[in-house]
Amino acid sequence: RDGSDRQIPGGSRRSDDGRVVSGGSRPLADMKTLPLPDFAGLPIYNYEKFMLPIFFSRGCVAKCTFCAETQYWKKFRLLPVERVLDTIGHAVREYGIRSFQVNDSLMNGSHPLLEQICDGIIERGYDVHFTGYCRLEKRFSTELIRKLARAGCSTIAFGMESGSQKVIDLMQKHVEVENYERILRDAHEAGIEIFVCIIVGFPGETWMDFFKTMKMLLKLHRYLTEVNLSVLVIPEGTPLATQMAQFGVEYHYDGSNHDWQLADRSNTPRIRYLRYRIMRGLWKFLKKKRVSPTGGDFEYGALAGA
């Protein structure tokens, strides 16, 4: 902190006189020159799981209306294949760790890159395990899924979001619901554990759309290890937040970003909470286990007795 107007590209700072000084944007990092991650001195063995983060890319190929990933990362960029493989080898040699969390927005943003990484892991003989996110898109082939399993992919989290194609189109995910079953079945048969993310209450979701998601969950639950269920919030900076009028959203800010409703009152916080409870109850009945909440009980707990 100082009284000057010194700017820090890519960040903001507060000067001694209380002013916020914005540094503006900074050039995106050159993926080819990024150094290998250095975890020396960190208590990595004190955590419950001996797992390190790794990434194959930055950004996302999609521009879903509810998601801030594209706004945050600006553009989709790939790490060179050899750098990914060298990072894995370095972690195995230096730290003795063979489990990795792929922190990409999605692992299959580039199918050719993902296949090359899998080939490299297999060819180098790395005995590793990794998990990450993927899109449920048609071009995610059976062959690539099987190769992922051979390379050590143990778990994939998929953004299923809804079983209604109408809602998926409103989200601008550019995937087809009709492909979900084949991809999830392929991953299950390859021995990969499957997590799916479901969003309840997207603007335009009717009760019929909601029941389509329930029907899909009934149909596909045998392939699934866990459901990550959330009630839609509207993150700042997302297309949904900047185009709320186009979605018919009325926003009544109360200190959180879940207190919104449609102008026709067909989608309110109480309705979304009810749908969340129904969906959670269905999953518990099907699998005899609890759902992973990321926006249900925590954010909507105050409505439980309303």
Closest CA to 135 of 84, 76, 88, 215: 76
Most confident of 15-19, 128-132, 258-262: 128-132
Q: Are strands 153-161 and 129-134 parallel, antiparallel or unpaired?
A: parallel
Secondary structure in 3-state letters for 194-258: EEEEEEECCCCCCHHHHHHHHHHHHHHHHHCCEEEEEECCCCCCCHHHHCHHHHCEEECCCCCCC
- Average pLDDT (91-97) is 91
Beta carbons within 10 angstroms of residue 291's beta carbon = 21
Q: What is the pLDDT of residue 282?
A: 93
Q: What is the pLDDT of residue 296?
A: 39
Instruction: pLDDT band for 255, please (50, 70, 90 cuts).
Output: low
The answer for residues whose C-beta is within 8 angstroms of residue 265's C-beta and 6 or more apart is none
Q: What percent of the chain has pLDDT over 90?
A: 58
Instruction: Quote the tokens at residue 165.
Output: 């194609």
Q: What is the pLDDT of residue 75?
A: 83
Q: What is the pTM of this model?
A: 0.84
